[in-house]
Structure 1
Amino acid sequence: MDSPLGRKLDPGVVTFVVLNIVGLLAYLNPFFAPGLHEDGLQSFAHKTDAPIVFAAAATLCLVLAVADLTAGGLNSKSLAALGVLAALAAVLRTITLPAGANLYFFLVILGGYAFGFRMGFLLGALSFFLSAVVTGGFGPWLPFQMFASAWMGSSAGALRLVTVHAGRRTEVAAVVAFGILWGLLFGAITNLWSWPFFSAGPDISYEAGLGPVETVRRYWNYYILTSFGWDLLRSICNAVILVFVGGPLLRALVRFRERFSFELRLTVLARKIGSRR
């Protein structure tokens, strides 16, 4: 694929950008299409577009994985690591802790941090899908949860770009703070899939035509009343787990990433040498 400037575009980059656009449009669509609302019937939320969003997300994630395999961004070992981490995260999500917290988040955060933002995106999306298979949690909410989890893994990979030259303790501290933040962000993001269809009171419900300031104020009230307490406990759980296992597990994952990255560089170099002959 060629750009207007004559340079070839990486199919993986294009697919990754399209994936994020699909997720953003899926979340924001109800705010720009007020005709979709059916007041008082929250079960109607995304009843028609959720299967389309899920199909698009699953297809594009597969395309992204194939594109990275073809371009050398992934190899068989890194793909196997992705599958193992996703399966482990899915199993951990079945372990329910007090107040609804669970062990799912720390593994996606550490995996995304160690392997980069694109693999972190795939890890977050795939692990949440597998957890739905294990728990039977299929519904119109699933693709939105997959995107939120994918963004968590992807942003963990982006965090590493900032802390890559920091010391190990600084890295672990940054990951712990990141886990606390995403304990809140995950709930704040996923609530948006159904909030536009929620009808309870004028101070916490969405109403089409309101300005952005009033809309944000109402959502803030809704979030504080319905989700903040649970999300705060999730943040605490993330922090405790990452403090105890974040350092050792992160070192192990980074060592593995560095090993297969070295092998990938050798493979790409061999391909270039072979193509010149």
Structure 2
Amino acid sequence: MHSKLQANNIGLRSSLILLLTTAIGLTAFCWPLLLSADSQLSKTTAPILTALIIPLALLVVFTDLADGMLNSKAVALLGLMASLIAAARLFGTHSFGVEPMWALIIISGRAIGPSFGFSVGSLGMASSALITGGIGPWLPFQMLAAGWIGLLSGLIPFPKGRAEVPLLALFGAFSGIFVGLLLNMWFWPTAIGSDTSISFEQGAPFIQNISRLLAFTMATSLAFDLPRAIITALIISTVGAGMLRALRRAARTAIFVTEVQWQTQTSAKSLS
């Protein structure tokens, strides 16, 4: 008997929704790098695209419910993990890059699956924003970044066994750096003036602006990104194996407990 909530397993309709969400998200993140100086997509237009992210993240959950990939008990597990992620972000020391929530997102996506990882990451980020009052133009970008990390942790075909947790820890370290670079993109074009070597240059070649973005990241956020990468890898290395077992056991129970009860009742009726 195999669970439908295994890593690397994702429904067709959920895949289409996630592809649409990713396309919209990449457009919102990367529009300055991809468009020319005379483009009609302005700085005020691009953030409007991100308003679609929250309903699409919820739609992934509803689609999995309709397709039988999740049931009410698995959705309760989703709510529990999103709450834990929100609490972990609340108690994290953001000024030093200590953000334990990323480890929880990665472990959740790896244990239960990519669509679950995307939903728990994005909804956990939204929940923490409601708790802390951190609602602003940056929130959809943070939700996308968290969702993508959860999605990737479920999609990457890590081997199960002893190598799984060390490889997942390496992915956590990479995520800590990647998230910093990704989140810089939403405000970098307007963060500083246009007369520095790390400023965004409207209409410049793609490679040139990428080089400037990397230089901007090294000069501004790398001191926060490195601790995030180290802490995430350490948490996964320490508690990853136990959490993976617990979440996989909970996911199997969530999927099959109703089915087993129904079969038992049917068998009892047939014997009477």
The TM-score normalised by the length of structure 1 is: 0.82
Q: 1:172 aligns with which of 165, 168, 181?
A: 165
Q: Please give the alpha-carbon distance, in whole angstroms, between the structure 2 residues aligned to 1:58 and 1:212.
A: 29
Deviation at 1:176, TM superposition (A): 0.7
1:26 aligned residue: 28
Alignment-mate amino acid for residue 203 of structure 1: S
How is 1:90-239 mapped onto 2 (pairs within 5 angstroms)? Answer: 90-97=86-93, 99-159=96-156, 162-164=157-159, 166-167=160-161, 169-200=162-193, 201-239=195-233
The TM-score normalised by the length of structure 2 is: 0.83
How is 1:4-15 mapped onto 2 (pairs within 5 angstroms)? Answer: 10-15=12-17
Q: 2:61 aligns with which of 58, 62, 65?
A: 65
Assess, with a 3 A threshold, how the Cα gap between structure 1 residues 212 and 130 changes in structure 2: closer, same or farther: same
Q: How many residues end up aligned between the 2 structures?
A: 248
Gaps of 5+ in 1: 1-8, 38-44, 270-277
Gaps of 5+ in 2: 1-10, 264-272
Q: Does the CA contact (< 8 Å) of 1:53 and 1:143 recur in 2? A: no
Q: Please give the alpha-carbon distance, in whole angstroms, between the structure 1 residues aligned to 2:69 and 2:99.
A: 31
Q: Please give the alpha-carbon distance, in whole angstroms, between the structure 2 residues aligned to 1:218 and 1:69.
A: 44
Q: Does the CA contact (< 8 Å) of 2:31 and 2:46 recur in 1? A: no
Alignment-mate amino acid for residue 163 of structure 1: F
1:247 aligned residue: 241
Identical amino acids, percent of aligned pairs: 33
Q: Please give the alpha-carbon distance, in whole angstroms, between the structure 2 residues aligned to 1:119 and 1:63.
A: 12
Assess, with a 3 A threshold, how the Cα gap between structure 1 residues 95 and 199 changes in structure 2: closer, same or farther: same
CA deviation digits over 1:114-139, x for unaligned, max 9?
11111111011100000100111111
Q: Please give the alpha-carbon distance, in whole angstroms, between the structure 2 residues aligned to 1:84 and 1:46.
A: 36
Q: Please give the alpha-carbon distance, in whole angstroms, between the structure 2 residues aligned to 1:212 and 1:117.
A: 30
Deviation at 1:79, TM superposition (A): 0.6
Alignment-mate amino acid for residue 232 of structure 1: L
Assess, with a 3 A threshold, how the Cα gap between structure 1 residues 192 and 258 changes in structure 2: closer, same or farther: same
Deviation at 1:266, TM superposition (A): 7.3
1:41 aligned residue: none
**Alignment partner of 1:83 is 2:83:** no
1:5 aligned residue: none
